[in-house]
Amino acid sequence: MLSDAEFKRRASEWAAGTPVRVVAPPGADYRCLAKIAFRLADRGVKKIIFDP
């Protein structure tokens, strides 16, 4: 889990092309993962890898 401040700081790196690896919590459904993806996309992130 990232704090909001850490998320904002790292989002600029990810938007520059560094892939983001998201470890899906147990029981995470499509809506939860979509929310994460949209939040990243709002910051310009285009490379997201979801791991179970």
The pair of structure tokens assigned to 35 is: 């929310």
Residue 15 pLDDT: 92
Question: Mind giving me the DSSP string for 20-40?
Answer: EEEEPPTT--HHHHHHHHHHH
Domain ranges of the chain: 4-51
CB-based contact 5:34 (threshold 8 Å)? no
pTM over 0.85: no
pLDDT digits (tens, 9 = 90+) for 31-51: 999 999 999 999 999 999 998
